[in-house]
């Protein structure tokens, strides 16, 4: 088990390198980023194993992807629990049951509360379809980018904190906004970069190269 990172108010030690980091993935929809992680792990491009997948939606295609890959998958729908904290505790119990070391949000819609964030302190990673801090705190970042006429957007992998889309950034990939782009065409090009950026970020974390330093991260050089 990797050591905890307990503070963001001073430079933190990197996560200890691991031969194979155990990932728990939360997804609400199609699960294409989950598939990217499954493919990268299967091809041994990253030292990771997806050991559990959870969703807040029955029928999410991500669940089918997990089950086809032989990964335990379960649904924790909000309406089936008396409170959000109870729902999150059930997710936490599921992840711990499978020995999860790092939680990855791959198109997971609910905003995480203290129950899950405290249980996996600085062990939750998200991918967002914009160059944060631009167009954060929204499910329509691509449409917002088009509406504001930006010429470059992209995706961001970051640690999750109680500040929505405000946690330390691990890496970003830029995507040009083309004349004639629609929300669908721009989203598709950003998604292609997400499929590369998320496994890359997981690989950096597993290698012990990501250092949380205040509100930012530093990426250590490869040995």
d(CA 96, CA 220): 29
Out of 58, 121, 122, 128, the active site residue is: 128
Rounded to the nearest angstrom, the gap between the alpha carbon of residue 65 and the centroid of all alpha carbons in its chain is: 17
d(CA 153, CA 130): 6
To the query of whether residue 128 is one of the catalytic residues in this protein, the response is: yes
- Dihedral over Cα of 147, 149, 153, 158: its sign: negative
The contacts of residue 120 (CB under 8 Å, 6+ apart) are 92, 95, 100, 102, 103
Cβ–Cβ < 8 Å for 128, 141: yes
d(CA 166, CA 23): 22
Angle at 219 between CA 126 and CA 144, to 5 degrees: 40
Do strands 169-176 and 152-159 pair parallel, antiparallel, or not at all (unpaired)? antiparallel
Q: What is the largest CA-CA distance in the chain?
A: 49
Catalytic residue list = 128
């Amino acid at each position: 088990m990797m050591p905890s990172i307990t503070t963001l108010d001073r430079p933190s030690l990197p996560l200890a390198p691991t031969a194979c980091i155990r990932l728990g993935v939360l997804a609400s929809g199609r699960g294409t980023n989950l598939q990217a992680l499954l493919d990268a792990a299967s091809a041994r491009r990253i030292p990771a194993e997806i050991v559990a997948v959870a969703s807040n939606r029955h029928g999410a295609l991500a669940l089918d992807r997990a089950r086809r890959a032989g990964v335990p998958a379960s649904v924790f729908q909000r309406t089936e629990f008396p409170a959000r904290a109870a729902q999150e505790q059930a997710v936490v119990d599921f992840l711990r049951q499978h020995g999860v070391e790092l939680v990855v949000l791959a198109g997971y819609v609910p905003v995480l509360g203290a129950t899950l964030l405290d249980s996996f302190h600085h062990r939750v990673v998200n991918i967002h379809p914009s160059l944060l801090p631009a167009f954060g705190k929204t499910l329509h970042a691509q449409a917002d980018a088009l509406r504001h006429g930006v010429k470059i957007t992209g995706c961001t992998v970051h640690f999750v904190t109680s500040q929505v889309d405000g946690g330390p950034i691990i890496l970003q990939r830029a995507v040009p906004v083309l004349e004639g782009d629609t929300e669908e065409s721009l989203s598709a090009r950003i998604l292609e970069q997400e499929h590369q950026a998320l496994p890359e970020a997981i690989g950096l974390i597993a290698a012990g190269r990501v250092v949380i330093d205040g509100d930012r991260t530093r990426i250590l050089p490869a040995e």
